Chain A
Amino acid sequence: MDLTLSLILQIFYVIANLALISLGLAIIFGMMRVINLAHGEFLMLGGYTVVVATNNGVNLWFAMLVLAPVVVGAIGVVVERLLIRWLYGRMIDTLLATWGLSLFFIGIITTIFGASTSTTISPPLGVVSIGEYTSSGYEMLLIGITAGLLVAVYLVLKYTALGLVARGTMQNPDMAAALGVSTSRIYMITFGLGAAISGFAGGLLAPVTGVLPTIGAIYIAKAFITVISGGASILAGTASASILLGGINGVVTFLTGPTLGEVALLAAAIILLRFMPTGITGRLFRKSQ
């Protein structure tokens, strides 16, 4: 019984973790059809923001919940204005440019902070015990925060003017432009928002994973798979793909260890795309590509 509960909790955490690291990427992809290859570095920058801030005496919670998203969101807006907006409609060039950006960020951070960081933050909240098994209180908090984040994004998309316009732009950019909505502005806000959520995720994960200039590479494989498998719909896609792939990853990891867990996740995604080439939610759109 305790084992089952502990296992379920573990699988929940894997799912939440996938959703958390993918959501920022999914927002940018869903709205702009841009795969941001610098996504891992946005997460990394969020982590560094938290580490640097706490080292300078800033409260950990403030650094994670406020500073990381604000700083990385601002970086996202700058990136969009200086780089991405020149490449709209050129999907492959956008991919390549964001890849260049990824290397650029790794280079900058390595130059400033060195190739490894000595300081790590230990996860707050200690340990929760379930019978004879223990679970990290922080991991449980992350599950909660991820759920809250998904709900918040849903509410923004559904009930705010920004969300309405964004959904319109997502369905048909030309139509939105014809209605007088400035797609350029929407794209800027979207990219900034996606970056902010990535920064937020990176900040939250920094106590669990530590920070390194190249840590983005650890996240991106899973985040890419999740977003591509989910398809164009931001929330439904991220949630369904996280549950499916996170579930598979969690179970296989439990049975055979973490090595094969990721492989199973990848294999499941590749097989899935053979039959649903535009992802799980791709079919809901007449043309998602």
Chain B
Amino acid sequence: MNGMFGQFRGTLFAALLALIFTIAAPSILEFFTIITLTQVIGLSILALSLALIWGYGGILCFGQTAFFGLGAYSYAIAAVNIGGSTGAMFIAVAVAAAFAAVLGYFAFYGKISDVYLAVITLTVSLIMYSLIRRTSGPEYKIGDALLGGFNGTGAPPLNVPGNAGAVLFPEHTFYVAMVALILLYVFCGWLVNTHFGRVCVSIRENEIRAELLGYDTRAYKLGIFTVGAAVAAIGGIFFCIGVTRVTPDVFSLGQASLTIIWVIVGGRGTLAGPVLAAFGLYYLTASLGTQQVVNTSLVLGIILIAFVLLAPRGVVPGIEKLATARRAGRRNRAKERRMRLRKPRGGISEDRHETG
């Protein structure tokens, strides 16, 4: 694998493919599928956010759903109160990012270990889940928006900026969501190639070294964590617009598990992998959900265990590795032949080992 910093050109190419898909989708897909796709795009943005902070930043956030759900709820509440979607989106992103900044401050400046961070973030999401579930009843309302407890609350649709009456059609909402995904994908691809992004990658590789080079690793981790939360919040917004509701399930253990599984399956150290995994697994679980024989959790559990044991790098880096291994294999065989010509009894012992 060369260039752990990722290749921005590849990112742009993938973005172009996605753009072509966006334009073509309404003419090749059914109307109902287009509506569903908006939700899935929201989920895939969530996957993208974790791909960024875990895959590149090395921050093990098991509760990325906390920011996703916070974004969704903040959007729904703000949109009901403001009576329009544009400002609500900004508020939602700001709320999630601010929350992440506070949480991240305590975690990173306290220098808790990555395993602790994983567990704490998961716990945050789970406690939000149980908190918001208890908010049924008319007394739990923020402005005009009822929180609705277990049943959740309605999420207003997107409207044309500045004109709350002009609600977007589902196809248009799909376009907006897809463009948001593409832009965020390009943004993340760009970010990991900036100085800031490269320092984050170096912290993932060796935090002490980065510190000894004079980088304040706490600030960098806090920075990418907050950016990741903002991205997750945008995912939450599109998800709840796609579903037209937001329920406590956005914070649930199941949703948190899925998010981790997307990144594991798609692979750490790639942005496209987890996004594609989110789409793929959504259709897998949707088709599993319609039959009664095999339980979805069971299948997801087996997938997760299997990937950890058998393919810890995930699908996309696995394919990349296979390709480089074949190339390296060819190189090594050529080298071996040369060595043999020079040194009749020589064997190759010390050639490189891939380190994970």
Contact = CB atoms under 8 A, between A and B. Distances in A.
Do A and B touch directly, given a CB cutoff of 8 Å in the complex?
yes
Interface of A: 35, 83, 86-87, 91-93, 95-97, 99-108, 110-111, 214, 217-218, 220-221, 224-225, 228, 258-259, 262-263, 266, 269-271, 273-275, 277-278, 289
Contacts of A102: 257, 301
Given A111-B295, A224-B120, A228-B119, 7 more contacts: A102-B257, A103-B304, A108-B295, A110-B297, A217-B126, A217-B252, A259-B134
B130 A218 contact: yes
A103 B257 contact: yes
Closest 10 pairs between A and B when the two form their complex, measured CB to CB:
A107-B298, A104-B301, A100-B304, A103-B301, A107-B297, A100-B305, A274-B110, A221-B126, A107-B295, A217-B253
A277 B254 CA distance: 28
Interface stretch (B1-9, B16-24, B101-109): B101-109
Interface in B88-124: 103, 106-107, 109-116, 118-120, 122-124
Nearest to A274: B110
27 contacts: A35-B119, A91-B115, A92-B115, A95-B62, A95-B115, A97-B309, A99-B260, A101-B301, A102-B257, A104-B297, A104-B298, A105-B301, A107-B295, A107-B299, A214-B253, A217-B253, A218-B130, A221-B127, A224-B122, A225-B123, A228-B120, A263-B127, A263-B131, A273-B110, A277-B116, A278-B112, A278-B113
A105 B304 CA distance: 13
B107 A273 contact: yes
B155 to A, nearest CB: 23
Given A95-B115, A107-B298, A263-B127, A270 B304 contact: no
Contacts of B60: 92, 95
Contacts of B86: none
Contacts of A96: 260, 264, 304, 308
Nearest to A91: B115
B297 A262 contact: no
Interface in B120-168: 120, 122-124, 126-127, 129-131, 134-135
Nearest to B126: A221
B305 A273 contact: no
A106 B308 contact: no
Nearest to A86: B309
B115 A259 contact: no
Given A107-B299, A277-B111, A95 B118 contact: yes
A93 B312 contact: yes
Contacts of A274: 106-107, 109-110
Does more than half of chain A's interface fall in helix, strand or loop, or is it mixed?
Answer: helix
Nearest to A216: B253
Given A92-B115, A224-B123, A104 B109 contact: no
Interface string B279-319: 00000000000000011111111111110110010000000
A273 B105 CA distance: 11
Interface residues of B, number: 48
Interface of B: 60, 62, 103, 106-107, 109-116, 118-120, 122-124, 126-127, 129-131, 134-135, 252-254, 257, 260, 264, 294-306, 308-309, 312
Contact of B119 (A100, A224, A258, A259): A224
A107 B296 contact: yes
A209 B113 CA distance: 33
Does more than half of chain B's interface fall in helix, strand or loop, or is it mixed?
Answer: helix
Interface centre among B122, B130, B295, B300 (most CB of A within 10 A): B295
A100 B106 contact: no
B309 A273 contact: no
A224 to B, nearest CB: 5
A277 B119 contact: no
B124 A266 contact: yes
A100 B261 CA distance: 9
Contact of B123 (A95, A110, A266): A266
Contacts of A106: 295, 297-298, 301
A104 B302 contact: yes
B104 to A, nearest CB: 11
A50 B275 CA distance: 42
Contacts of B124: 266
Contact of B116 (A87, A220, A228, A271): A228
Contacts of B115: 35, 91-92, 95
Contact of A277 (B113, B127, B297): B113
Contacts of B118: 35, 92, 95
Contacts of A221: 122-123, 126-127, 130
A61 to B, nearest CB: 31
A289 B113 contact: yes
Contacts of A263: 127, 131
Contacts of A278: 112-113
Given A217-B253, A273-B110, A277-B116, A99 B123 contact: no
Interface centre among A99, A105, A106, A111 (most CB of B within 10 A): A99
B127 A262 contact: yes
Contacts of A266: 123-124, 127
Interface centre among B110, B252, B264, B303 (most CB of A within 10 A): B110
Interface centre among B257, B300, B301 (most CB of A within 10 A): B301
B98 to A, nearest CB: 15
A97 B113 contact: no
Given A100-B302, A103-B300, A218-B130, A270 B103 contact: yes
